[in-house]
Amino acid sequence: MTNYCVSATGVRKAFGDNNVLNGVSFEVAQGSATTIIGPSGSGKTTLLRALNALDVPDAGVIQVGEVEIDFSKPVAKDELRRYRAQSGFVFQSHNLFPHKTVLQNVTEGPIVAQKRPKDQAVAEAIELLDQVGLAEKQDQYPYQLSGGQQQRVGIARALALKPKVVLFDEPTSALDPELVGEVLSVIRDLAVEGWTLVIVTHEIQFARQVSDQVLFTDQGVILEKGAPAEVIGDPREERTRQFLDRILNPL
């Protein structure tokens, strides 16, 4: 029996008259990497944000880690807090605290939100910064770092919360092309180490290399899902083929 870290059934989300998610269902196995690909406006980011309730779904049942919520019913605040605590979120544009050092950014969540002892949080944060290649930057501020370094701090910050799953929202889209590789390398290492990852990305070759599962979204539904060799290498759907052809063979 597969041990699922994430399970979503019939997830719906609308913003006004715009139905962004139209009954999305999928699972993510423990210790696996899932990438979500698709055209802009297809619901990728909203789906990812639903997994952390940054965008609270209108309907559907989602289980993340140890918490399952039926979003078609009213959800208590403490239950929503428990749900959010199951995942760590890495944003497109770093979202670091500009007035805090690198080390303070990484320890903020464990100390303030999780009430963990400061010395323990600091020791673990230094270890994580070493893991992402930034141990020597711990006393610097975000403005002193490159975009790629800031994003790696964002990854360390998410890992510091010891989440069941790490959610990445197009983690390289705001970076200069020469900085993309350093961030993708860190994410690749996390996949090898057995972290459960869900990654929204436009980097198709990276998705091919790192994924156990690829989801292709279009118009608020998952049109195709499977192993990279299937979805990227030999897609069944014409819409998937069109999208990949445009990305992989630009004019």
- pLDDT tens-digit series, residues 165-193: 999 999 988 888 888 889 999 999 999 99
Give the length of the chain: 251
Task: Classify 43 as helix, strand or coil.
Answer: coil
Report the C-alpha gap between 212 and 219 in whole angstroms.
23
pLDDT given at position 13: 97
In the chain, the amino acid numbered 16 is: G
CA angle 230, 232, 233 (to 5 degrees): 65
When pLDDT is averaged across residues 27-40 and rounded to a whole number, the result is: 96
Contact 21, 11 (CB under 8 A): yes
In the chain, the amino acid numbered 151 is: Q
Prediction pTM value: 0.94
Could you tell me the pLDDT band of residue 249, with boundaries at 50, 70 and 90?
confident
When pLDDT is averaged across residues 215-237 and rounded to a whole number, the result is: 95
Q: How far is CA 13 from CA 7, 23, 58, 80, in A?
A: 16, 8, 5, 17
pLDDT given at position 251: 67
Round the average pLDDT of the chain to a whole number and report it. 93
Half-sphere exposure of 1 (CA within 13 A, CB side): 3
Report the C-alpha gap between 173 and 161 in whole angstroms.
24
Could you tell me the pLDDT band of residue 155, with boundaries at 50, 70 and 90?
very high
Residue 133 has pLDDT above 70, yes or no: yes
- Calculate what percentage of the chain has a pLDDT beyond 90: 88
Half-sphere exposure of 151 (CA within 13 A, CB side): 24
When pLDDT is averaged across residues 206-211 and rounded to a whole number, the result is: 93
Which residues lie closer than 8 Å to 211 by C-beta, 6 or more apart? 33, 34, 35, 199, 227, 228
Residue 154 has pLDDT above 80, yes or no: yes
Residue 1 has pLDDT above 60, yes or no: no
DSSP 120-189: HHHHHHHHHHHHTT-GGGTTS-GGGS-HHHHHHHHHHHHHHT--SEEEEESTTTTS-HHHHHHHHHHHHH
Report the C-alpha gap between 50 and 122 in whole angstroms.
30
- Reported in sequence order, the residue ranges of the chain that DSSP labels E, i.e. its strands, are 4-15, 18-29, 33-37, 59-64, 67-70, 87-90, 165-169, 197-200, 213-218, 221-226
User: Tens of pLDDT along 43-101?
Assistant: 999 999 999 999 999 999 999 999 999 999 999 999 999 999 999 999 988 789 999 99
Query: Any bridge partners for residue 199, and if so which?
Result: 35, 168
Q: 40: how many CB neighbours lie within 10 A of its CB? A: 7
Q: Which of 199, 205, 200 has the alpha carbon at shortest distance from 181? A: 205
